[in-house]
A = this chain, B = another copy of it.
Amino acid sequence: MQLQAMTQVSPDLVPGYSDRFKRQVEFLLEIDRLKHTLRQTILLDRSRRENSAEHSWHIAVAAAVFCEYAAADDVDLGRVIRMLLLHDLVEIDAGDTYCYDPHAGADQHEREQSAAERIFELLPVDQARDFRSLWDEFESAGSPEARYAHAMDRFQAFLHNYFTQGQVWRQHRIRRHQVLERMQPVARGAPLVWAYVRTLIDDAVRKGYLAP
């Protein structure tokens, strides 16, 4: 249960009474809440579930490390990283939707659209537009940058599942074909990484981390 945080910025303490600056501070305070959104994924030592803020950090670093494997040449890494830093902000309102839960997925799109509207519009108009457009680009996978960003998002979660011996897969009785389908963005966005994922999926089935 989330407690109430104090996130109102007094206009009379802001330099030059700037509404722009006030909005920027309020946005920064608001997004602290992403640290409370828990994913299904667990940390590698299995001590707890991962939250969406630390997940966003992890995949932003992953994007820098694996950039040479992006499907397209000359992917703009700065853009990929900004996309990944922002891509989960909607979960502040919409929560994390477990990818293998067909019911939760039903109204996910609507919930996330409303969330994007509320959260990005905390910012000054020009920044709201820029951030929202990065988020839309990610959502629609409409650019090489967005497709590579998706690949990293899926790859990190996959590694956590494999390297915790499929603890979450086993708990939810996930099967091989589901993971293969879920990992298609890796195939599209980072083909060599996909070769690794496919090998680990077979190995996971062999070792009993994942149902055949």
Chain A residues with a Cβ under 8 A of chain B: 2-7, 13-15, 21, 24-25, 27-29, 31-36, 43-47, 50-51, 53-54, 56-58, 60-62, 64-66, 77-78, 81-82, 85-86, 123, 127, 156, 159-160, 163-165, 192, 195-196, 199-200, 203
Given contacts A15-B199, A51-B54, contact A29 B44 (CB under 8 A): yes
Residue of B nearest to A124 (CB): B65
Contact present for A35 and B50 (CB under 8 Å): yes
Q: In the complex, how many angstroms separate the beta carbon of A127 from the nearest chain B beta carbon?
A: 7
Query: Across the interface, which residues of B come within 8 angstroms of A60, CB to CB?
Result: 57, 60, 81, 85
Whether the pair B66, A85 counts as a contact (CB closer than 8 A) is: no
Give the nearest-CB partner of A76 in chain B: B78
Secondary structure of the A contact surface, majority rule: helix
What B residues does A4 contact at CB under 8 A? 45
| Subset of 11 A-B contacts with CB under 8 Å | A13-B196, A14-B196, A15-B196, A27-B65, A29-B163, A32-B160, A33-B44, A51-B54, A53-B57, A65-B127, A81-B85
A25 to B159, CA, bound (A): 9
Give A85 to B82 CA distance when docked, in angstroms: 11
| CB-CB nearest 10 A-B residue pairs | A78-B78, A5-B44, A57-B57, A3-B45, A53-B54, A5-B45, A15-B195, A54-B54, A32-B44, A35-B54
